[in-house]
Amino acid sequence: MSETVLVTGGAGDIGRALARRFLAGGHRVVLFDRDGTALEGAARDIVGGDRLVCITADVTDSASIGEAVTRAEAAFGPIGVLVNNAGGVIAPTLASTDEAAWLADLDLNLNGAWRCVRAVQDGMMMRRRGIIINISSANATGIYGYPAYSSAKAGLEHFTRFLAVELGRHGIRANAIAPGSVRTQAWNERVAQDPEILERVKRWYPLGEVCEPEDVAGLAAFLVSPDARMITGAVIALDGGLTAGSTTMAREFCGAEF
C-alpha cells in the first residue's frame, strides 16, 4: 500500500536517501527542512516528479510544523508515515556546553520529534493506522561526545517506547533507528582538516565500515513494509557493531588477540 511519507531534515544526505527509497517504493514523499535553499537543492537532486513535495518548516516551532502538515495533507492526503530525521549537534563536551547549547540540542533532537508526532497523531488515530520512525543515534547508548545531543537521543528512544505502547491500540507502530557514524557532508570539514579521520574512526567498528545514508533508508523502508507489521517499540542499532563492543578494547582487557 502506498502512503504519504513525511521526512523531516529532508535536505540533508539522510533525508534525501530516505526520499529516494520511499519514492522507489511507490510512496508519496513530503520533505520538511528549515533551510529553504538546501531544500530547493534537494528538490532538484531527487527525481520525484509529482510524488515529491518540499516544504520549508522548522521542527522547533509548533506553528511552523502545524502549517506545514496542513500544506502536506492538502497536496497528498493524510500522513501515513512520519520519519523524524531532523537533528544536529552543537557542543562536543560538557565543558563546552552552556545552557543555550543544551536547550537548543534538546529542542531540535527531542522536542522537535514530539511536535511532529503531535501534528500527525490524531489523523493516524482516526484512520487506525500509522507508522512513526525516529532516527536516534549510537550516542544514545554510549559516550561518544556531544552530551546534550546524546541525552536528547536517549530521550527520543524512550519516547519511541511510549508511542508504541500508548498508540499501539490505534494501529500505530513506532520504532527507532540508531545509526553509528554516517558518511554525510557533516564530515566534510573534518575530512578537509584531517583526510584520514574516517579511516581511523572505522577501526572502532567490528565491520570496519561506517554507515552510508542509504543504509538508514533501507532499514526505514523495511520498517514501513508489511514484513515489519509486528515490530513496534524497538530501537534497532545500525552501527556496524559499534555498541556491541570493540576488539581493541577487548584486546586490552583480556591480553589476547581477537
Instruction: Kindly list the catalytic residues.
Output: 149, 153
Find out whether 130 and 82 touch, Cβ atoms under 8 Å.
yes
Per the listing, cell 536516534 goes with 136
In 3-state terms, what secondary structure has residue 55?
strand
Per the listing, cell 508526532 goes with 117
Find out whether 6 and 54 touch, Cβ atoms under 8 Å.
no
Torsion sign across C-alpha atoms 226, 227, 231, 234: negative
Phi, psi of 95 (to 5 degrees): -60, -30
What is the length of the chain? 258
**DSSP states of 176-195 as a string?**
EEEE--B-SGGGHHHHHH-T
The span from the CA of 211 to the CA of 191, in Å, is 16
In 3-state terms, what secondary structure has residue 32?
strand
Torsion angle in degrees (nearest 10) through CA of 136, 47, 117, 34: 80
Parallel, antiparallel, or unpaired for β 4-7 and 28-33? parallel
